[in-house]
């Protein structure tokens, strides 16, 4: 998404490389501006690191250094701290009582401004709440996503991808989007409302 209140990914804009979507400017910001300030900082003080990154950027939407640079560095710092303590990242972030990663949500149908169709909602997502592990949850999402592609194709709908990575078929309504998602969940071998929302 690129709404006016959302963090901005810094792109190079050079149409001759990656159609303007390259990220060499963001990488340079990491290697120069950000590295100069972070080298020597306490890797275990994540709030300080994140505050420093935001202050270095100085814009309300992270447009100067790029949200892609800032988020990448923040995650790399957290991961480095976790690895240095020989902890999985979820436990380092979640504390000693953390047992699992949160349930992932996957965007599978795009609408609104992210697609050229009659669907009003920007994103339809699935949540594999019945999964026992994060890897099982990811597998469930992937299976439903690919089953949705077949379901849409079988119904004669386009399986073009929208701006956010979900399918962008020309469905008639939000209700039809929900119905086709439920059908895909069922066809993938899961129970809608139980295994997956």
State what percent of residues in the chain have pLDDT above 90.
75
**CATH 3.30.390.10 residue ranges in the chain?**
18-94
**Cβ pair 196, 182 in contact under 8 A:** no
Identify the band that residue 23 occupies on the pLDDT scale cut at 50, 70 and 90: very high
Tokens linked to 167? 């399918």
Residue at token pair 């469905």: 171
- Residues in CB range of 105: below 8 A, 6 or more apart: 125, 126, 127
- Residues in CB range of 71: below 8 A, 6 or more apart: 7
Direct distance between the N- and C-terminal alpha carbons of the chain, in angstroms, rounded to an integer: 23
| Cα–Cα distance for residue pair 97/17, rounded to 1 Å | 46
What is the pLDDT, as a whole number, of residue 98? 75
For domain 18-94, the CATH architecture is 2-Layer Sandwich (3.30)
What is the pLDDT, as a whole number, of residue 122? 87
Length of the chain: 197
Q: What is the mean pLDDT of the segment spanning 19-42?
A: 96
Would the pLDDT of 195 be above 60?
yes
| Buried/exposed 113-149: b ≥16 CB within 10 Å, e otherwise | ebbebebeebbbbbbbebbeeeeebeebbebbbebbb
Residue 26, helix vs strand vs coil = helix
Tokens linked to 66? 């790029």
For the stretch 84-125, pLDDT in tens is 999 988 889 888 777 767 789 999 999 887 566 778 888 999
**Cβ pair 67, 7 in contact under 8 A:** yes
Q: What is the mean pLDDT of the segment spanning 120-142?
A: 93
- Residues in CB range of 73: below 8 A, 6 or more apart: 30, 34, 38, 49, 53
Would the pLDDT of 1 be above 60?
no
DSSP string, 97-120: T--SPPPP-EEEEE-GGGSSSS--
pTM over 0.75: no
| Cα–Cα distance for residue pair 6/66, rounded to 1 Å | 11
CA-based Rg of the chain, rounded to a whole angstrom? 20
């Amino acid at each position: 998404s690129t709404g006016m209140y959302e963090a901005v990914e810094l792109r190079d804009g050079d149409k001759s490389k990656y159609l303007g979507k390259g990220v060499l400017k963001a990488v340079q910001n990491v290697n120069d501006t950000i590295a100069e300030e972070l080298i020597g900082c306490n890797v275990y003080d994540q709030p300080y690191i994140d505050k420093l990154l935001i202050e270095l950027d100085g814009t309300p939407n992270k447009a100067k250094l790029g949200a892609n640079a800032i988020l990448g560095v923040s995650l790399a710092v957290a991961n480095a701290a976790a690895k240095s303590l020989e902890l999985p990242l979820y436990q380092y972030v979640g504390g000693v009582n953390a047992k699992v990663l949160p349930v992932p949500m996957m965007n599978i149908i795009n609408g609104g401004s992210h697609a050229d169709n009659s669907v009003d909602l920007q994103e339809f997502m699935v949540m594999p709440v019945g999964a026992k592990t994060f890897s099982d949850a990811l597998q469930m999402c992937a299976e439903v996503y690919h089953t949705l592609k077949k379901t849409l194709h079988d119904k004669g709908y386009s399986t073009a991808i929208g701006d956010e990575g979900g399918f962008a078929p020309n469905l008639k309504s939000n209700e039809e989007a929900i119905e086709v998602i439920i059908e895909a969940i069922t066809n993938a071998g899961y129970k809608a409302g139980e295994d997956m929302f």
